[in-house]
A = this chain, B = another copy of it.
Amino acid sequence: MLNTPPATATGILEAIAFDADGLVPAIAQQHDAVEETLATSRVCYFSRSRGRLWRKGETSGQVQRLHELRIDCDGDALLLLVDQTGVACHTGRRSCFYRAARDGELIEIAAALIPPEALYPSG
């Protein structure tokens, strides 16, 4: 997950229960701490649609800087505390979770801050 894992990262990797495809779900949260203790790392995911590593923001510029990586009790999920540049969602919203179920309907609870075409200019 880190750009250049330290030599001591082996124990951390061994604690993660990767699935048969070598993947693990990762949850990214905006952290609100002021300090940037681990701020030299940029978050990298594996894109199943692209079939390769995906350093978030490489096209859009909306990068995530790693604040802290946490592992859950049985090692099959990660929580990433990040500092999000701009918006996190390809729709131009701060969060991908902008639809809420209320009274049996899906309601949009956040508007796009920038048009998606500004994130992914063609040509």
Given known contacts A12-B105, A105-B11, is B69 in contact with A98 (CB within 8 Å)?
no
Residues of B within 8 A of A104 (CB): 5-9, 12
- How many of chain A's residues have a CB under 8 angstroms from any CB in B? 36
- Mask, A31-47, CB within 8 Å of B = 1, is 00000001000000000
Residues of B within 8 A of A93 (CB): 73
Residues of B within 8 A of A27 (CB): 27
The docked-state distance in angstroms from the alpha carbon of A73 to that of B74 is 28
So how many copies of this chain end up in the complex?
Answer: 2
Tell me if A15 and B70 are in contact (CB < 8 A).
no
Nearest chain B CB to A74's CB is how many angstroms away? 8
Interface check A61, CB cutoff 8 A = no
Nearest chain B CB to A89's CB is how many angstroms away? 5
Partner-B contacts on A (CB < 8 A): 5-9, 11-12, 15, 25, 27, 38, 68-74, 77, 79, 89-91, 93, 96-106, 109
